[in-house]
Structure 1
């Protein structure tokens, strides 16, 4: 069972394990305002993040991770496997990558977290020599919001198992690893900007986290004491910036042939990524959506990706030779790459606003939020309803990882949450056993440290113990604890003296950053407490 975090914690580390890019940040509890984002990635994607990619040989031995998978050092080797987007395997996504046989996604996640953890440990040791990683460091791992309710417990459980295999924690239930959602972390990070945005107590604001793989939306209310309330459920979808890259590759495939793109993807993944980086740097981010300011961009494959030329068949080769292997990218081409993705994002914002129309401001974070075209489309449609309060904070790419650190330093910043599960226990009635007795329903807003209580009695006079198994379901009408949609979260029991006059037990659930379950013998005062992970 998880337990409260040890007072010995000295350093909090936020880990943004992203679909396309990852990073970490850290702060010492004695200097909470000094949050450092690791900047030693030596990556052409920018110094704040490294690609969430892995490179294995034909025997599935890990060779490289992150930016080094794109360095080209393995060009002559055969049978290599470049692995990316494997985080999407945690959810029921149509965008899941195809992994090599004998390589499961849990192994890929564990391998990546192990390498990321090695970097974290080296960084912390160099900054605070002698720091005890497993007892003085709290890890805060961000998870994305749109994991389906019936699957998020499984996903978090898998992440704990992967973290254990990666040597980030000593035991699976370690209290030195906690979770927060990406939009929640982004909201916490943006709190310092709220006064600048002229938001006052009681105002609600939406954070739109536009990442590489996913876009997550969260609406919060600013409350007293610099705390955040959650008035409505969050939502999100797979429509991040990497999907613009995919549209770009489709465009490029029309010039050189889709088979050439597929072969370079398989045999020279690093070279293809440098083509995407060229597009990202000189076309994708600068694109404003204004044709008068756009200059055609010439992508020279001889300079950027000469290896692609050998895979272009005769159907495309003659035209490419006439163009001297230069692919010209026009305004309409770029707009057609962006628009399908942006339309999905606009639809998500409309849906979120439809749940709460009095939203006072919108804050864009995440790497894709740096896109001028995305910013302009969002402002064009929603500025009037937001009174022009649509903002992009400084360093939007690292908003999540910094917010994760702030959450670890002060978990009380989240004043309440909306429960994604119905919680209950099993009881015996006159008609049946194993009956699901609901304690609190999904969709209920619970304040941090709020208690839900029930009184139970043993079913027989000679019963010396009473069990309090805790179950969860995504339904409102569960009848029995062995129904397919009901899952056991944990169990414990409490002793009942036979000579007790009143054998009633007070069972309570307290929803803080974890669920604290307490069973108290009302007459004797004997108490049993344990904690369970709160599925966020």
Structure 2
């Protein structure tokens, strides 16, 4: 992987709740790898500036072009609501998580996602439009004043994804980016925990409240540490080992689950339902979308900043439209109702504000925090992790004081490091990875990879139900898993390369089709075993020259290159030297 032409590297963090971009030039990277130019987004509500914008897309009625993204999408959608024109447009919110929820159901190129009104568009179109906006917005700022001084081929883009995403999901992002006009040669998909570690290996980060020299950047070579990347949708946990010259290696493959900050938002909705009833709440969401959007935006900031140990209650604006809907529907006064409810003393209404006790507010985090803490503590019983003494917390949800305190209290023997601006660490690390991808020295394979082949049938080894007579007249066994690498195996980017040789059984064979499989099992026997699944196909056509026609046992080699965030496959016809090189193309329908 060459990086000599990467004069400008841009990074896109496409998150469940918030998204953003950053860029750096090579000369800046050479002077200071941690330097990054990051956009500050204006919310439109007052003068609030943030380093990320909500992952919201407002799509024009044609379903093919983007009207606005982020805060602008929210604000323009509110204006459409005022005019009653909202049903003509598509408004998508937190749609990355909607994609993630379909990962286990299989990917299809015609897969759709629903907007806030339940209407569907092609997922690739929505992601493609959004990526295009973020990239163009980033390049507009990066190339201001230097137009013509940098060629398009000198620009490289990095898009970060959760490490929990499957190979098919990563390829979906590649194809969405290509749809946005980004050629694959200028694009890298980076795993969020790796980008996180790369940045933190370059900086000095003290543990809050300590006067010491403990940081990820100063850890001795060989030190293993846990990385928890807490986002809005998913929680990624992995183990890295500090290497020399700011490098790192993956020690334990990623794990985690859907326990991110959006679980807290769901609990907030459930709380409102308990306060006003489902009918009133659904009517509020349906008819007063502008107020609901503003309420969600305010809660998002309270979720991160609130310290539930502080005195007093957490105060939030409650829309008049919600209290009016409740009063009209029940013929009761919401303020009075609360005084006689189970939340008496914990939630009260005063001067257009809803004041929530620390206990009730903390309870909204309980489900998410409990799952995260339980999983972390269970990992520490693992033989590999029981000696861990450092945990690095990053991602937008890590900025929550509630989550940070819970993790720190649950792991008394672990030093929990949470850098400033934890939500921006992934972007900064992605730039470092884009400039110098060789800093990732080793990765751990999530699956066993191999091909489907038909060897000669061996009695006592192969099952009889897979026995058949092939065109060459020999008795063979179908659907045998020919293993290349094993799950849990350590691979090195650019180095781990395995080759196997195949022969054509038929004299008049015109082509050879390779079916690539993955398995969660260490030693799969057959490709149709439980836990095995096809991940791609590669076909090579044979030339028709006379000296190669009608030849049995034609030699063909298949080489698989591991260690990158995608698998590269090369097939070579040894008779002619003809090669076909590709990355795995998942067989979506």
When normalised by structure 1's length, the TM-score is: 0.84
Partner of 1:64: 68
> 1:530 maps to which residue?
581
Query: SS of the counterpart of 2:263?
Result: helix
Which residue number in structure 2 is paired with residue 189 of structure 1? 199
**2:295, 2:317 within 8 Å by CA — same for their partners in 1?**
no
2:417 equivalent in structure 1: 391
Q: Which structure would you say has the larger Rg? A: 2
Instruction: Tell me the distance in 2 between the aligned counterparts of 1:363 and 1:509.
Output: 33
- What's 1:333 paired with? 360
Would you say the 8 A contact 1:22–1:51 is kept in 2? yes
Partner Cα separation in structure 1 for residue 202 and residue 180 of structure 2: 34
- Using the TM superposition, give the Cα deviation of residue 401 of structure 1 relative to its aligned residue in structure 2, in angstroms: 1.1
DSSP 3-state at the match of 2:298: helix
**Distance of aligned partners of 1:351 and 1:175 in 2 relative to their CA distance in 1, 3 Å threshold:** farther
Name the counterpart of 2:342. none
Note if contact 1:235-1:348 (Cα within 8 Å) is conserved in structure 2.
Answer: no
Q: Distance in 2 between matches of 1:314 and 1:21?
A: 35
Q: 1:243 to 1:316 in 2, by over 3 A?
A: farther
Q: Provide the rounded CA distance (Å) in 2 between the counterparts of 1:118 and 1:6.
A: 22
Alignment of 1:319-330 (within 5 A): 319-320=334-335, 323=349, 325-330=352-357
- Measure, in 2, the Cα distance between the counterparts of 1:411 and 1:370: 28
1:51 aligned partner: 54
Task: Confirm whether residue 349 of structure 1 aligns to residue 359 of structure 2.
Answer: no
**Contact persistence 1:462–1:498 (CA under 8 A):** no
Per-residue Cα deviation, 1:256-309 (whole angstroms, up to 9, x for no partner): 33333323333443422322333344x43343342xx321234343xxx33334
Deviation at 1:248, TM superposition (A): 2.2
Q: How many residues align?
A: 514
Q: CA deviation at 1:221?
A: 0.7
Q: Alpha-carbon deviations, 1:159-184, whole Å to 9, x = none?
A: 223223323x14xxx21112111122
Deviation at 1:464, TM superposition (A): 9.0
Q: Contact 1:53–1:82 (CA<8 Å) still a contact in 2?
A: yes
Residue aligning to 2:485 = 440
Aligned to 1:402, which of 428, 439, 442? 428
Q: 1:247 to 1:141 in 2, by over 3 A?
A: same
Pair 351,239 (structure 1): closer, same or farther in 2 beyond 3 Å: same
Residue aligning to 1:479? 526
Secondary structure at the aligned position of 1:126 is classed as coil
The farther-off stretch of 97-106 and 108-117 is 97-106
- 1:262-341 equivalent positions in 2, closer than 5 A: 262-281=282-301, 283-290=302-309, 293-301=310-318, 305-312=319-326, 313-315=328-330, 317-320=332-335, 323=349, 325-341=352-368
Partners of 2:11 and 2:577 in 1: CA distance: 38
For 1:398 and 1:28, locate their aligned partners in 2 and report how far apart those are by CA, in whole Å.
Answer: 18
Deviations 1:316-373 (A, max 9, x none): 7413378565422112211211222211111232243333222231111112212222
* Contact kept? 1:255, 1:320, Cα under 8 Å: no
Tell me what 2:402 maps to.
373
Using CA pairs below 8 Å that are at least 6 residues apart, which structure has the higher relative contact order?
1
1:361: which partner in 2? Answer: 390
Structure 2 alignment gaps of length 5 or more: 105-112, 205-212, 338-348, 457-475
Question: Which residue number in structure 1 is paired with residue 82 of structure 2?
Answer: 76
> CA 1:158/1:348 → structure 2, altered by over 3 Å: closer, same or farther?
same
Structure 1 residue 188: Cα displacement:
1.5
Provide Cα deviations, 1:179-216, integer angstroms capped at 9, x if missing partner: 11112211222112467425211111111111122221
How far apart are residue 5 of structure 1 and its match? 5.4
Q: What is the CA distance between 1:254 and its match in structure 2?
A: 3.0
1:41 CA displacement: 4.2
Structure 1 unmatched runs, 5+: none
Deviating more after overlay: 122-131 vs 207-216: 122-131
Sort the Cα spacing of 1:75 and 1:310 in 2 relative to 1 into closer, same or farther, 3 A. farther
| Secondary structure, counterpart of 1:192 in structure 2 | coil
Q: Is the 8 A contact 2:234 2:258 kept in 1?
A: yes
User: What do the CA deviations read for 1:411-461 (whole angstroms, capped 9, x no partner)?
Assistant: 111111111232223444231356432111222221223334345253459
Measured in 2, the distance between the counterparts of 1:406 and 1:240 equals 26
SS of the counterpart of 1:359?
A: coil
Residues 1:234 and 1:408: Cα distance change in structure 2 (over 3 Å): same
Deviations 1:78-102 (A, max 9, x none): 3445321211232236998666334
Contact 1:89 1:105 in 2 (8 A): no
CA distance in 2, matches of 1:202, 1:343: 31
Q: Identify the range of structure 1 (358-367 vs 17-26) with the bigger mean alpha-carbon deviation.
A: 358-367
Taking structure 2 as the reference length, what is the TM-score of the superposition?
0.77
Q: Aligned in 2, Cα 1:93/1:519: closer, same or farther, shift over 3 Å? A: closer
The alignment's C-alpha RMSD in Å is 3.6
Q: In the alignment, which residue of structure 2 is the partner of 1:39?
A: 40
Rounded to whole Å, the distance in 2 between the matches of 1:479 and 1:205 is: 37
